[in-house]
Structure 1
Amino acid sequence: MRTLPARRLAAVALTAAASVVALAGPAFAHVTVNPGSAAQGGYTAVDFRVPNESDTASTVKLEVNLPLDHPLASVRTLPMPGWTAAVEKAKLDKPIKVHGSDVTEAVAKITWTADAGVKVAPGQFQEFRVSLGPLPTDADSMAFKALQTYDNGDVVRWIDESKDGQPEPAHPAPVLKLTKATAGDAHGATATASPAAGAHGDSSDHAAASDGDKTSSDSTARTLGVVGIVVGVIGTAVGIAGLRRKSGSAS
């Protein structure tokens, strides 16, 4: 009879561990930029990684807004079978200099729309690749506000900006961190490629591509934190159960 409380305690601990994982799960499913960082002043290629978070609906459209406070002269989308990319440009209030020439407009928005019969189904994700540059030299990050549309009409707005010292918002905007260029970077670029690699929205003869595909360090840290919590809960339950068994045997 003395073993029943220990079993119940173990069951409660396992339930608590499962709850921790369930609560932490949605934090891993944000729309993100991968890789999550690039060198200031250079050209790079990034993937906007879009997980399908619904159990009953599929993703059929992604809209990504590019910040015009730090306009990018060269923006190209990688052709992707089954999806159509539309690029919208906007006039700049103040022209920017790129390789000695004035650039008066920049890409403000990219919209990917799925063709008939194409979708990102539940349990799947899709990556939308873009080459960008030159990246600003006077900023340490760029936020790309995104809208994810499902085939049932639901729209998830990934537009909230994270702030230091505060909890992560429910729907954070994808962020590309910008690091100081090093001597090893070619013209401050993280990677370079032939202009033929891109297909849409370019306003310069320069483009870039990167083979790196890294998961953000924030996601990794959250994963390790969840694993630590689960292991701690289970370990505590096992320890207490052992003590109860020893106590029962001694009495």
Structure 2
Amino acid sequence: MPFVPHARRLGALAALSAASVLGLATAASAHVTANPKTAEQGSYTKVAFRVPNEHGNASTTKLVIHLPVEHPLASVSVRPLPGWTAKVEKSKLPEPMKAHGGELTEAVTTITWTGGKIEPGQFQEFDVSMGPLPADTDQMMFKADQTYSNGEVVKWEEAPADGAAEPEHPAPSLRLLPKGDAQTAGLTANVKPTAEAAPDDGTARLLGGIGIAAGVIGIGVGGYGLTRARSRS
């Protein structure tokens, strides 16, 4: 007879674990991110800013991406997105920089998308081609402002700290690897749009699958305990 409560505890524990894993998967996929995660220093690349709508009853209606002025880019172009209007703004640089054999005195510092909607439970990707990427840093951060239809603005602008937990609102970032690094093979401007599931989506789906499997196992354990208890009575 003591097997019944024990089995129920196992089932409850498994279900709780499943819910926790699913919660982690949802949280991990809810940030505004830059994809791919890495690119080669000095190269041209296409970055897709992936914007999920994590609000339960409001749509995302505006996105602002801030390009780092400390690492200005000579070339920035935006892929047209049906339903959305992109506004590219330039700012004067504190100091001129050499580019394409000449001198660059201003660079794109913000890109603003408006006019469209990302409904709850959906996401959208905003593609930007940029380069040449700086060779004097190993990371670029792109602070982002996500505006909802109810007026709420979420600022994704926190920098990750080494050895610390991920901040609540991390800024989309691009890790820059040394030229010729094997890990950056193919991550240049001719990369095709991410029609397939990206690493972030795959990880979230894997974690979700693990959570569902854990819940099924918990239900099975609880059912087995009840059946065994009844056969003994």
TM-score bracket, shorter-length normalisation: 0.7 to 0.9
| Regions of 4+ moved over 4 Å | 214-250
Contact 1:91-1:104 at 8 Å conserved across structures: yes
CA positional deviation for 1:12: 3.5
CA positional deviation for 1:219: 6.8
| Identity among equivalent pairs (%) | 49
Cα distance in structure 1, aligned partners of 2:11 and 2:186: 54
TM alignment of 1:1-251, pairs within 5 A: 1-5=1-5, 6-114=7-115, 118-182=116-180, 190-191=187-188, 208-211=189-192, 213=194
Change (3 A) 1:215 1:29: farther
Contact 2:8-2:225 at 8 Å conserved across structures: no
Contact 1:87-1:109 at 8 Å conserved across structures: yes
Change (3 A) 1:144 1:228: same
Cα distance in structure 2, aligned partners of 1:229 and 1:81: 36
Change (3 A) 1:96 1:189: farther
CA positional deviation for 1:79: 1.2
SS at match of 1:119: strand
Cα distance in structure 1, aligned partners of 2:218 and 2:106: 60
Structure 1 runs not aligned, ≥5 long: 192-207
Cα distance in structure 2, aligned partners of 1:66 and 1:103: 16
Contact 1:37-1:177 at 8 Å conserved across structures: yes
Per-residue CA deviations over 1:111-144 (Å, capped at 9, x if unaligned) read 0002xxx311011111111110110011111000
Contact 2:26-2:204 at 8 Å conserved across structures: no
Cα distance in structure 2, aligned partners of 1:63 and 1:42: 24
CA positional deviation for 1:23: 4.0
Partner amino acid, structure 2, of 1:61: K
Per-residue CA deviations over 1:154-202 (Å, capped at 9, x if unaligned) read 1111111111111011111000111111299xxx9943xxxxxxxxxxx
Cα distance in structure 2, aligned partners of 1:112 and 1:34: 18
Partner amino acid, structure 2, of 1:211: K
Structure 2 runs not aligned, ≥5 long: none
Contact 2:158-2:167 at 8 Å conserved across structures: yes
Farther off after superposition, 12-21 or 94-103: 12-21
Cα distance in structure 2, aligned partners of 1:167 and 1:230: 26
Partner amino acid, structure 2, of 1:10: G
Change (3 A) 1:123 1:244: closer
Contact 1:63-1:110 at 8 Å conserved across structures: yes
Change (3 A) 1:45 1:23: closer
CA positional deviation for 1:232: 7.1
CA positional deviation for 1:4: 2.7
Per-residue CA deviations over 1:25-56 (Å, capped at 9, x if unaligned) read 21221111111111111111111010111121
Cα distance in structure 1, aligned partners of 2:78 and 2:12: 51
Cα RMSD for the two superposed structures = 3.2
Scaled by the length of structure 2, what TM-score is found? 0.82
Scaled by the length of structure 1, what TM-score is found? 0.77
Cα distance in structure 2, aligned partners of 1:165 and 1:223: 26
Equivalent pairs counted in the alignment come to 229
